[in-house]
Structures are given as structure tokens and as C-alpha cells.
Structure 1
Amino acid sequence: LAVDRVASLEVFCGLDLVFWGLITFITLIIKVCPRGQRTNYQKICEECEGSPELYDWLYLGFMAMLPLVLHWFFIEWYSGKKSSSALFQHITALFECTAAAIVTLLLNDPVGQLSIRSCEVKMLSDWYTMLYNPSPDYVTTLHCTQEAVFPLYTIVLIYYAFCLFLMMLLRPLLVKKIACGLGKTDRFRSIYAALYFFPILTVLQAVGGGLLCECHSFLFFNEHLKVFLVDISIVLLSLRY
């Protein structure tokens, strides 16, 4: 009966097998799968042992580069020609993001290794499991919200947290030491800008992470779209010249 009931539920609710004794008694519990697991074709929660595909790595790289590019943009915007400290701030921002990425990978499963164990992304709804909590009897809601795309959702948020922590730890000291050519209000403006764009990036990942990832895979594998973009580029260049 439990198997029949789970078959009628959404894909994110699974069976957790609990064995009682050494011989026979098995309890099937319908519940959300633990972190790092998701349901298989038999609706049983099992450990994810895969690794991210190519376009998953491209997505992670894109999300990791966003803070660095924004750091560099605002450093240039607020320092410009008025200070020679911009280069040192660029190097510091690069160090912050690189160190944050390494620490995030080391703390992620498998711990202590620069690799990622991940669950396969099968569909867009895998990113938004909170929208698929079923109500079999239209009264009781089974909460099966989980990170079905483990760890693509949370690893970016953890990375942003480490980026922000390292920036607040290192950048004010550096700016105070070397940005003498700027006024007291100007020298910290690139840091203030980061305090604005990090929450924006966090919301972008939390709300639109799945859409961004699916767009990456679509752009990467859609040959017709690539040909179309190349044709558009050729037309624009011909019009320009």
C-alpha cells in the first residue's frame, strides 16, 4: 500500500526503509529524502554518487565569477584615475573569491577534496521542490521540500557567504592602508557596493538559480540557437562597417 501511495505522489517524496531486527520486519516511511539523497525510479531514497555535468560546471563557474566581476567593476568605478591602489584591490578581490571557492569545495561533500558529489538534474522542477508538496487527501500536506539538485543550490550560497566574510576581513584593512589618495568616504565605496550586490546575488540564486542553470544547458546544447546568434552577429557587423 505504501508503494502504491508513493507512486501517486510527486517525485520528491520517497520511501525511507527502516529495518527492524535481523530477519523480516521492514517499515516503509513516506518522507522527504535526506540531504545528498533523492528518489530513484522505485521511489526509494538513495545516495547521490554522481558528479556535475559540463554545463553544471559552467553554471557554477558563471555564478562564481559574478562577484569577482562586480568587485572589479566597482573598484574601477570608484577609484578610476584618482588612485594607484586599484590594482592591489583587484588582486585582493581575486584572492578573496579564489579562497572562498577553495574553502567551499573543501567543506562540501566529499569533505576535504576539491570535487563535488552531486545529484543529477532531471528537470526544472528539481530546483523548486517547495512548489511540489503534495496533498494526497486534499487535507494533509506532505512536506517533501529538499535539495534535489544537491549541491548546486546551496553551494553557491555558501560561496557567497565566504566571499562576503573574506571581503569584510581583508578589504577594509587594505583600503585603509593604500587608498590614501581618496577621501574618507570614497575609499570604502567599493566595499559598500558589495554590501548591496551580495544580497541581490543571493536572491538571484535563490529565486532564479534553476532558470539560469537551464538557460546555460539550453544555450550550450542548442546548435540552432548558436547558428542563429552567429548569423545575427555577422549581420550587425556588416551594418556597422
Structure 2
Amino acid sequence: MPWRTEFPSSLCTAVAMSSTCPGLYCGKTLINGSFDGECGVCPRGERTSMQKICEKCTESPELYDWLYLGFMAMLPLVLHWFFIEWYSGKKSSSALFQHITALFECSAAAVLTLLVNDPVGLLSIRSCRVQMLSDWYTMLYNPSPDYVTTLHCTQEAVFPLYTMVLIYYAFCLVFMMLLRPLLVKKIACGLGKSDRFKSIYAALYFFPILTVLQAVGGGLLYYAFPYIILVLSLVTLAVYMSASEIQSFKNLIAKKKRLVVLFSHWLLHAYGIISISRLDKLEQDLPLLALVPGPALFYLLTARFTEPSRILSEGGNGH
């Protein structure tokens, strides 16, 4: 009797499907209860499995995914606040109302973005888990089985992290165009006509830039945003304290605005640390949050030793 080995039918099916669907993201869609169709792109909201079958995304985003979405949502808000402060000059009351309006615009856009994403009408989303960097750039992995014909399987494998950010930016732009011009025209009477709408003009520039940044570098930002937050928050805090000539604790508490800026940067530091830790290491890395005030304290303690006038005077006395 010859030796005979039998394989499970499911394994044979998986092997057969794997051999018929090339590439990383090509799969077969269920049609009339069978997978007899041709290999191709999976519908939106689905991604191919290890067996090359298009399966619906039913998972909830991880903490890191939410932190990434929060980072992308903060970018336009921070830029709004920066340009409002830059162009408002000494009109602090005008700047305050514009800051509040920008916060309302971005908050409303974020809520509306959650509501229009699947499941529609709920403040929650279903998603596919990000497995590797190539999931963000499926268009670069369209296979050519015969080296002549390309099988196009471009899809949103990271559903909905890619398009969700673009939808949010669109809503932000719409809300800004509906609300901000009327507000600025009403409360910014002390500013010149050419300066009233400069913060809005700036947004018309940075929104296309943010859109291109997400479209091209979304995957890179997904993995790098915690480090970007930490580096930028440290640099901007140092620049602000230097430009404001803050060299002691007395200078720091002299104005409420300076304390607001300081606490805002501390929140960004904490956000970056939590993002780097992720959920699996969050508990053991929580003590690192005690280091959040460290850079500001170091700056205040050492600023007096780097004062240019003092260095020049000591250099002159040395000669």
C-alpha cells in the first residue's frame, strides 16, 4: 500500500487562493457566496487577508491610532493659532476671539468627520490594523504577473486613517470660510484692512500643504509623529522663551499668556511621551511624564549664563 498524505481542505483552499492572487494587496471578493471571481482590488472598508480574501474591517483603532489622528487634527489648529497671533499684533481681544473660533472650527470638523465615517452617525469608527509601512502606499505594490500587464490593487489598507484626515481638513476649510471672515470683519476693526484677513489667507496656503503632506507622507508621519512632537515642542518652547526674554521664574509669571504657552508645551511633551510608549508599555513609562517640566526648568536655570551682554562684558574684563 503506497504512502499517502492527506491535507485539510481549508489548507488546500488557502494555498490555491494564494497561488492565484499575486501581490500583497490583491484579493478575491465574495460574489454569490463564492470566491470564484478574478483577483483585484478590495472594496473600501475591506482589505485582503493572508488567504487572499477581501475581509471587512471590523476592528477598533488602537490607542496609537487615535493619538495619530489627534496629532493630524492638532496641526491645522496650531497653525491657525500661530498665524492669528502673528498677524493680530497688540489686539489681544481680537486674537482671543479668533483663537476660540479656530478651536470651534476644528472641533466641529472633528466631530462631523467621526459622524460621516463608518459606522455613520456614531462617534466611533471601525478600522483595519496597520501592519507595516507598505499598507500606506499600496499603489507602489501593484503586481505584474507576466511583467507586462499590471494588476491594479490600490486600496486603503489602513482604512480609514488615510482618507479620514483628508475629510477632516476639508471640513476645517469649509467651517473656516463660513465663520471666520464674518467674525474678523466684526471684531478686528483696529487692524488695517490688509491685515484683517491675513490669518485666513495663511490658512488657504497651509491647508493644501497639509493635504499633500498627508497624501504623500501619511505613512511616515504615522511612525514618526511622536518624535516630531517632542522635537518641535522643545524647539518652539526655547525659541519663544528666548524671544520673550524670559530668563527667570519672575519673568515667566509676569504675564498669564506666558504661562498658557508653557503649559501648552508641557501638554505636547506629555502627548509625545505617551505616543512613544504606546499602550503596551504605557504603565511602565508613566514615570517619564515627570520629566515634562525638565526642559523649561533647565532653560530658566541656565539662561543667565548665556546672556550675550554678560558674555561680552566678561570677555572684555578678561582682556
- Whether 1:10 aligns to 2:23 is yes
Counterpart pick for 1:47 among 56, 66, 69:
56
* Partner Cα distance (1:83, 1:183) in 2: 15
The whole-number CA distance in structure 1 between the counterparts of 2:179 and 2:58 is: 37
Q: Is the 8 A contact 1:38 1:45 kept in 2?
A: yes
* 2:198 corresponds to 1:142: no
CA distance in 2, matches of 1:16, 1:29: 8
Aligned to 2:276: 220
What TM-score do you get using the length of structure 2 for normalisation? 0.67
Report 1:107-146 matches (<5 A).
107-146=116-155
Q: Counterpart in 2 of 1:197? A: 206
Q: Mark the runs of 5 or more structure 1 residues left unpaired by the alignment.
A: none
Q: Which has the higher contact order (CA 8 A, sep 6+)?
A: 1
CA drift at 1:220: 1.2
Is residue 78–residue 190 contact of structure 1 (8 Å, CA) maintained in 2? yes
Shift of residue 26 of structure 1?
5.5
Q: Where does 1:48-87 land on structure 2 (aligned, <5 Å)?
A: 48-82=57-91, 84-87=93-96
Identity %: 74
Q: Does 1:179 align with 2:194?
A: no
- Say what the alpha-carbon RMSD is for the aligned residues: 2.3
Closer, same or farther: CA 26–191 of 1 in aligned 2, 3 Å = closer
| Equivalent in the alignment of 1:168 | 177
Residue-pair matches, total: 228
Following superposition, the deviation at residue 84 of structure 1 comes to 2.5
The offset of 1:18, in angstroms, is 2.0
Q: TM-score, normalised by structure 1?
A: 0.87
The CA deviation at 1:2 is 5.3
Partners in 2 of 1:138 and 1:108 — Cα distance? 38
Which structure: greater helix fraction?
Answer: 2
Contact kept in structure 2, 1:2 and 1:28, CA below 8 Å: no
Alignment match of 1:101 (pick from 106, 110, 114): 110
Partner secondary structure for residue 46 of structure 1: strand
1:152 aligns with 2:161: yes
- Greater strand proportion: 1
In 2, are the aligned partners of 1:97 and 1:163 still within 8 Å (CA)?
Answer: yes
3-state SS in 1 of match to 2:39? strand
C-alpha separation in 2, matches of 1:113 and 1:17: 27
Structure with the greater alpha carbon radius of gyration: 2
- 1:55–1:217 contact (8 Å) kept in structure 2: no
Aligned mates of 2:92, 2:218 — CA distance in 1: 37
Long gaps (5+) in structure 2: 1-15, 228-274, 306-319
